[in-house]
Amino acid sequence: MGNTATPLSDRVILVTGAGYGIGRTAALTYARAGATVLLLGRTQQALNDTYDLIEAEGLPQAAVLPFDLEETDEDKFIELAGLIEQHFGHLDGVLMNAGVLGQRAPLETSHWETWQKVMQINVNGQFALIKHLIPLLRKAPADASVIFTSSSVGRAGRAYWGAYAVSKFATEGLMQVLAEEMENTSRIRVNSLNPGGTRTSMRVAAYPAENPASVPEAESIMPAYLYLMSPASVSVHGQALNARDLCAGLNAE
Ligand code: NDP
């Protein structure tokens, strides 16, 4: 069991989209908190770079899992879960962070192909992944945590956010359904977290005219990511949370 400085010691945490942006910072945060982090993402080199950052600090050795969530063959998800089980036996947490923005456009002119791609990665791939990771989370020796990544446009619809917004509504649905299913049948808690505007390449793509320096860095919201993944949040379940509110509340404690 971890202590205050390393609340995730001896825990195995999988982070999707761990090669860039919020996912990379979260992976490093979890490793600094003592976790063995499984780095999942599409681009092997980016995952290797996150791995090297963890190695350079002498933290628990991470593992690189190149995987494309656009995958439509369910067997590939089964193979992935089998590989994790073989090497680690179980999971204590999953940060479902990977996602794509797609096209900022009115629904009327949204491209069918882009719509399908966003839904495949942000919804269908996430479903297939978490479906096959649940048995590994059930094997956690203590509590386990699943964090889905939402957005403010996944909680109130907004013009021109198209498939991305709809996929984030679906993510909230996935969270709510899974949370009810895990309630009283497991020690797995399930929540969604909206990071809020954060300085990453996705933010630049969504707001090209904005000065990136005016947007907070991922580091600033890590207290929320750490809290939700660590045993301190064991009673938080089925909630749609905002990272900045959570950080403010944690600061006030
Ligand atoms: P980035 O674009 O920086 O990172 C997205 C990550 O998702 C990358 O690591 C990327 O890896 C991975 N990813 C994308 N497609 C796939 C795929 N097919 N298979 C596997 N991995 C994939 O975005 P952010 O860090 O900004 O976003 C992280 C999460 O936070 C997302 O869910 C986003 O919607 C959400 N969010 C972000 C906000 C912000 O202001 N930044 C605001 C609200 C929500 P690769 O490139 O190798 O595929």
No. of H helices and E strands in the chain? Answer: 9, 7
Please report the pLDDT score of residue 1 as a whole number: 44
Distance 84 CA to ligand 1 centre (A): 22
Q: What is the mean pLDDT of residues 176-188?
A: 96
Residue 100 in contact with ligand 1 by CB distance below 6 A: yes
Q: What is the pLDDT of residues 53-97, one digit of tens each?
A: 999 999 999 999 999 999 999 999 999 999 999 999 999 999 999
Q: What is the DSSP letter of 210?
A: S
Catalytic residue list contains 51: no
Strand ranges for the chain from DSSP E: 12-16, 36-41, 63-66, 93-96, 144-149, 188-194, 240-242
Residue 69 in contact with ligand 1 by CB distance below 6 A: yes
Q: What is the pLDDT of residues 41-63, one digit of tens each?
A: 999 999 999 999 999 999 999 99
Please report the pLDDT score of residue 2 as a whole number: 46
Q: What is the mean pLDDT of residues 168-181?
A: 98
Residue 45 lies in a domain: yes
Residue 94 in contact with ligand 1 by CB distance below 6 A: no
Residue 5 lies in a domain: no
Residue 23 in contact with ligand 1 by CB distance below 6 A: yes
Residue 2 lies in a domain: no
Q: Would you place residue 3 in the very low, low, confident or very high pLDDT band (cuts 50, 70, 90)?
A: low
Q: What is the pLDDT of residues 184-232, one digit of tens each?
A: 999 999 999 999 999 999 999 999 999 999 999 999 999 999 999 999 9
DSSP three-state, residue 49: helix
Q: Which of 164, 207, 225, 227 is catalytic?
A: 164
Residue 3 lies in a domain: no
Domain at 98, CATH number: 3.40.50.720
Question: Best mutation site among 45, 96, 97 for ligand 1, i.e. most ligand atoms within 8 A of its Cβ?
Answer: 97
Q: What is the pLDDT of residues 105-151, one digit of tens each?
A: 999 999 999 999 999 999 999 999 999 999 999 999 999 999 999 99
Report residue 62 as tokens. 């991470």
The boundaries of the domain holding residue 192 are 12-252
How many structural domains does the chain have? 1
